[in-house]
Amino acid sequence: MVFYIFFFVLKKIFKSQNYLKILYITAWIGFVFLNYRSWTTFYGYRAQGWITQINNYSFLIWLTVLFFGVLIIIFIYDKYFFQLFLSIWVVLLISSPVSIFLANYFSQNLQTNTPKIVNNFEEVVFVDKPDIYFFLYDGLASFETLENFYGFDAKNLKSILSNNNFYIANNAISSYGITSMSLNTIFSTNYAVEDGENYKTKNRHILRELNIMNSQVIRTLESNGYDIAAYSKEFNCEDSLNENIVCLGRKNSKQIFYELLIRTPFQIIENNQQSIPFYFEILDILGLDCSENCGDLKLQTIMEIFHNELNRNEERKPVFYFFHLKNTHGPFYVDEKCNSLKHISYNSNAFEMSKPYIDSIKCLEKELTGFLDSIDENSIVILQSDHGPHYNYARNYEQLTDEEILSRYRIFSSIKLSKECNQTLSQDYGQINTFLQIFNCLSNEPIDNKKVKSFYVPVDPRFNEVVEITNRFNY
Looking at the Cβ atoms of 24 and 412, the one nearer to Zn ion is 412
> What contacts 116, CB < 8 A, 6 or more positions away?
209, 214
Helix ranges (H only) for 351-453 are 354-374, 402-404, 419-424, 434-443
CA nearest neighbour of 317 among 304, 328, 330, 306: 306
Looking at the Cβ atoms of 176 and 435, the one nearer to Zn ion is 176
Least distance to Zn ion, CB of residue 138, Å: 4
Least distance to Zn ion, CB of residue 236, Å: 17
Q: If you write DSSP's letter for every residue of 105-156 in order, what string do you get?
A: HHHHHHHHHS------S-----S----EEEEEETTPPPHHHHHHHH----HH
Binding to Zn ion (CB under 5 A): which residues in 178-237? 179
Looking at the Cβ atoms of 78 and 352, the one nearer to Zn ion is 352
Residue 296 makes contact with Zn ion by CB under 5 A:
no
Least distance to Zn ion, CB of residue 298, Å: 21
Least distance to Zn ion, CB of residue 397, Å: 20
Looking at the Cβ atoms of 270 and 386, the one nearer to Zn ion is 386
Question: Sign of the C-alpha dihedral, residues 195, 232, 380, 373?
Answer: positive
Binding to Zn ion (CB under 5 A): which residues in 369-398? 386
Q: At what angle do helices 18-34 and 80-113 cross, to 10 degrees?
A: 40
Stretch that binds Zn ion, among 30-38, 66-74, 136-144, 408-416 (CB under 5 A): 136-144
CB-based contact 270:263 (threshold 8 Å): no
Stretch that binds Zn ion, among 138-146, 158-166, 276-284, 427-435 (CB under 5 A): 138-146
Looking at the Cβ atoms of 138 and 365, the one nearer to Zn ion is 138
Least distance to Zn ion, CB of residue 146, Å: 17
CB-based contact 331:348 (threshold 8 Å): yes
Distance in angstroms (rounded) separating the CA atoms of residues 319 and 310: 10
Looking at the Cβ atoms of 193 and 245, the one nearer to Zn ion is 193
Stretch that binds Zn ion, among 132-140, 160-168, 185-193, 465-473 (CB under 5 A): 132-140
Name the pairing type of β-strands 245-248 and 319-325.
unpaired
Least distance to Zn ion, CB of residue 115, Å: 26
Q: What is the DSSP letter of 452?
A: P
Distance in angstroms (rounded) separating the CA atoms of residues 94 and 85: 14
Least distance to Zn ion, CB of residue 58, Å: 25
Count of helix runs (H) and strand runs (E) in the chain: 18, 9
Looking at the Cβ atoms of 40 and 215, the one nearer to Zn ion is 215
Looking at the Cβ atoms of 191 and 266, the one nearer to Zn ion is 191
Looking at the Cβ atoms of 179 and 215, the one nearer to Zn ion is 179
Q: At what angle do helices 57-75 and 18-34 cross, to 10 degrees?
A: 160
Distance in angstroms (rounded) separating the CA atoms of residues 420 and 451: 23
Looking at the Cβ atoms of 182 and 189, the one nearer to Zn ion is 182
Least distance to Zn ion, CB of residue 175, Å: 12
Looking at the Cβ atoms of 138 and 296, the one nearer to Zn ion is 138
* Of the candidate residues 131, 138, 227, 359, the single one contacting Zn ion (CB under 5 A): 138
CB-based contact 296:367 (threshold 8 Å): no
Q: Which amino acid is at 133?
A: Y
Binding to Zn ion (CB under 5 A): which residues in 152-181? 179
Distance in angstroms (rounded) separating the CA atoms of residues 63 and 470: 43
Least distance to Zn ion, CB of residue 56, Å: 29
Least distance to Zn ion, CB of residue 327, Å: 12
Distance in angstroms (rounded) separating the CA atoms of residues 435 and 199: 25
Distance in angstroms (rounded) separating the CA atoms of residues 285 and 102: 35
Which residue number has the CB closest to Zn ion? 179
Least distance to Zn ion, CB of residue 411, Å: 10
Count of residues of this chain found to bind Zn ion when the rule CB under 5 A is applied: 3
Residues that bind Zn ion (CB under 5 A): 138, 179, 386
